[in-house]
Structure 1
Amino acid sequence: MRLSGKKALVTGSSRGIGREIALRFAREGADVAVNYRGHAEEAEAVARAIEGVGRRAVILRADVSRTGDCERLVAEAWQALGSLDILVNNAGMEVQAPFEAVTEADFDRVIGTNLKGTFFVSQAVVRRWLKHERPGRIVNISSVHEELSFPGHAAYCAAKGGVRMLTRDLAVELGGRGIAVNAIAPGAIETDINRDVTADPKGRAQLLARIPLQRLGQPGDVAAIALFLASDEAAYVTGSTYFVDGGMTWFHQE
């Protein structure tokens, strides 16, 4: 097992991509702290599944857009599991609105969850790794929209662009301390966040027409890359973003 004996915190892991990452890590030998904000029953189901494969699970409620919650989340995960080896910053959300209609509250919610949370959860974990002189792995779940424009989602694009540069900066700053930082940029993955588009036959067909592999991604497609980046197989990988999008980002047709 590639993560035997490791301990991981996966933010936003009650559903979707985060859920699949947490389960994949557990199947590969890791104990996992399952974080949720508003879906307690789903988080409990993930924890039961983790325990079902013989690993430890702890369920922790926290809103990563709040810095106090970020620190508390990491402190509780560290205490419950004994330490942490891996952090996956997966928690994310978006608000659709024309640029001229975006409110300050919308902006704060999107930036807070996607970028601020990634920053301060990482900071809380890194402080402990440095204090205890431990190496570590951070995997940030970004989006193809760190590269691609997405009209109606300006704040989301700004947040994910920030995650791209944060990943690169931390990789350089922390590499000498044994801490690797990488990102995954998913494309159209079949999760709740994309349900409005994927459930509509016309919208789904239009989306598939922009994906060279001609299918939507599954959470497991992202979890497979997260597992690689968290494992010793990626020992010489840092500062990179892996696009898991079926080729959508670089698709162009005259």
Structure 2
Amino acid sequence: MTTVTAPRYAGALRLDGKRALITGATKGIGADIARAFASAGASLVLSGRDEAELRSARTALTDQYNIEIRTLAVDLADSAGPARLADAAVDAFGGLDVLVNNAGVSYPQPATETDPAQFDATLAVNLRAPALLASAVGASMVEAGTGGSIITVASAAALAPLPDHYAYCASKAGLVMATKVLARELGPHGVRANSVCPTVVLTEMGQRVWGEEAKAAPMLARIPLGRFAVPHEVSDAVVWLASDMASMVNGVDIAVDGGYTMG
């Protein structure tokens, strides 16, 4: 039985009529972004690796918000995954207005103990896949001629070094710069590209990596607001960038970090 939940956004922050692809949409930040976009009225293509989790997310969001949702199970670590996902997502609604590149992985370890396989896996998922996906989706937006918004969920680790995150920092920093190149090249076609760079977000993964008080304390001491982020603080920024309220915002990286990257 469908029970429509009261919308989280109103006015110019509504995304009614917009078609959005969200990667990594079943867990953590991605799941909250999917809920936020559903609440804002967007039609969604949700991507992840697990078909059962995608079906569950689609059912829950459809029941809550009564919107159109398609799901695509694609492993972005697969070299052919980004192109396959781009083609299927564009076909799902006859085009895309928004891409949210959210999927990512992290294997914390000291730089001097870097595991080559994990380094390669990090760059494949965090940099190669979203960069190629944005390239393909961006091309479809240019061809459609109706503009669009490409949003990269990067990290404060792209803007300031983080110990034990050698590959992660490198991958996210590369992705932020790749997004700026998209902003430069696609801007003349009305396609905006921006990054959101959160500090630690208290998702399941965030709790797993930063849940120990001894490890969290030094990080918290560097955040002027004295706390980590919660998912909706990232989602709100992503919705804003997708909306017409951010129509003149292009090529920026928004630090959702409580002041961490001020130094």
Do they superpose with TM above 0.5?
yes
Q: CA deviation at 1:106?
A: 1.2
Q: 1:195 aligned to 2:207?
A: yes
Q: CA deviation at 1:121?
A: 0.5
Cα contact 2:95–2:141 (8 A) shared by 1: no
Partner of 1:232: 244
Counterpart of 2:104 (choices 92, 107, 110) is 92
Greater mean deviation of Cα atoms: 54-63 or 138-147:
54-63
Unpaired runs of 5+ residues, structure 1, are: none
Q: CA deviation at 1:197?
A: 4.2
Matches within 5 A, 1:48-87: 48-52=59-63, 53-87=65-99
Cα contact 1:64–1:121 (8 A) shared by 2: no
Distance in 2 (CA, whole Å) between partners of 1:201 and 1:161 is 27
**Please, what TM-score do these two structures have when normalized by structure 2?**
0.90
Distance in 2 (CA, whole Å) between partners of 1:199 and 1:158 is 23
Percent of residue pairs identical: 35
Unpaired runs of 5+ residues, structure 2, are: 1-9
Amino acid at match of 1:246: G
Q: CA deviation at 1:201?
A: 3.2
Aligned length: 250
Structure 1 segments of 4+ aligned residues over 4 angstroms from their partners: none
Deviation per CA, 1:212-241, whole angstroms, max 9, x where unpaired? 212221110000000000000000000001
Q: CA deviation at 1:29?
A: 0.8
Q: Identify if the C-alpha distance between structure 1 residues 206 and 45 changes in structure 2 by more than 3 Å, giving closer, same or farther.
A: farther
Cα contact 1:180–1:239 (8 A) shared by 2: yes
Q: CA deviation at 1:134?
A: 2.8
- Secondary structure of 1:243's aligned partner: strand
- Secondary structure of 2:103's aligned partner: coil
**Please, what TM-score do these two structures have when normalized by structure 1?**
0.93
The root-mean-square deviation of aligned C-alpha atoms, in Å, is 1.6
Greater mean deviation of Cα atoms: 109-118 or 47-56:
47-56
Partner of 2:193: 181
Q: CA deviation at 1:148?
A: 1.4
